[in-house]
Structure 1
Amino acid sequence: MKRSLVTRGRLRPAPLTGDAGGWRATAGATGLAIAMAILAPQAAQAVDVNSSDYVPAPAGTNLLLFYSTYTTSSQYTTTSGQTLSNNTGIDTYVDILRYVHYFDIGGFRADIQVLLPAGTAYNARLNGSELSSAAGLADPILVSTLWLYNDKTTQSYFGITPFLYLPLGQYDENDALNMGENRWKLDLQAGYYQGFANGFAFQIAGDVMWYGNNSDAGTGTQTLSQDNTYQFQLWLSYAFAETWSAAAGYSRYWGGSQYLDGVATGAATQKDQLRFELSKFITPTFQVMGMVQRDFNTSGGFEEDFRGTVRLMQVF
């Protein structure tokens, strides 16, 4: 079993990354309306996956993962097309501790996961307006995948994954930035993975996220609502050595327009993204992975100039 884990690296360690967004920028002005929490892993959009997330590990396998992600942004584009780049940007650090357990139920492979994120946002400014920093725990996430198709012989896998975000993270309606979102969220994701004998593979995933309302937004007495966010992801990967794997990916986000007491804030979750991933098993049960990402065609939020993630994974 350990041999197969090393040669393919096909475990389920999905990085959940955060989208910075959530202010209203009025044209020609610097007045802001706080429309949502800025952090929490994947706060405003759907859930990112790694290149082999939809390949299940054997039943009884446990994973303990640690993620550390840094992002930096230098411009904000509203849904109306206004781009703010003068003294505009934000930097974030987010760490995630994640536990995964695989098991069989009713003849199907499944897993159960718990994610505990925490982080900080700083250097936040929008068109010259300085914002306070934020630090603390973000919203915990409960996850479970059910593989409806699991064929190791043909390296073909298909699974469905719900992500439930619990509104337990740090949130203060008087703060410009928060780590928690003060609202429930549910993301439903489906993914298909196909491997080939020469070490190449592709994976596609699509998902939709539903948002509950935050009744303590804006002035602290206003209600933030948000349209569904949709995402498409594609990965092409290559296991070029016994313990090494590399991948290139593309993601498209759309939807997610936000409203404060029914009035559009100019924030949404629309963007394209390129990513590159490199991973290596240092031992048969310990893997190190690095990933870099870059946004483009952003509308309704901060455009990330750079996102870098380091992930450590222990199999037991």
Structure 2
Amino acid sequence: MKVIENWLKIVIPCLMAVGIPLSCAADTFSHIKETQTITIAYRESSLPFSYLADGKPVGYSMDICQKLVENIKKELKLSQLKVNYLLVTSSNRIDTIVDGKADLECGSTTNNAERRKQVSFTITHFFASTRMLVRADSGIKNWTDLKDKKVVTTKGTTTVKLLHDRDKVRGLNLRLLEGSDHKESFVMIENFQADAFSMDDVLLYGLRANNKAPDKFVVVGDALSTEPYAIMLRKDDPVFKEFLDRELARMMTEGDISKLYEKWFKKPIPPNNANLNMPMSFLLRDNLRFPSDKVAD
């Protein structure tokens, strides 16, 4: 009820105001209650966060969002709440939220200052490091080995700028390529169209684990950056964000997120029963103890 009371404190002044101020532009709770529908944006190949398995969107981020949807249903006292799923890519995911086509984006999206000009983010639920995937026989071990090499990353991701910056600092003369999604970027390594695929390490581990010949590929290189992943929502809807953050914080402190991490990072997952066997980072452990949406930009 507290969330609804806060919602009314914002909506009533908006209705009394002349015109509609920016702070009144987003009212996700009202829209969900009126339509009894919530739309979740998901990714096709961001394993293990958000991807398709047997034709259905699944993953660590999807499970978190599903729990949030259940709590939204309870908060609004709805007898039913329909969930629509909308496929997005790295290139259109932000516009999808800004344009109101989806209420939440549950994928592998980094929370940073530039994006917060357009959207909001919940408490961080994962920290990734930017590294690279190469063929095991390539001889590439670190970034200095990439001089005059072809490096691919996925269009619309934060890694694009990181590679440009590294290229300028090191003078590597990189030939930068962009895949339309993570799957296409990986295929370019498979087909010898690129020498390295730079992206968040966990996504690389996931793509490698589900490949038909995972031993042919390795993840290497010092971390270029730390990427805090969070659920994306519309900007200027403080009541909805407050609710999501509170529920996420509760899930973290009560151990629900730890159980989901164990499920998706430490055990076999669909569709091929691959096991990432990826230990939880110290950054995530700290965030589970002291939940926060603050990030180092």
TM-score by length of 1: 0.25
Of Structure 1 and Structure 2, the greater strand share is in 1
Q: Compare relative contact order (CA 8 Å, sep 6+) and give the higher one, 1 or 2.
A: 2
- Richer in helix (by share): 2
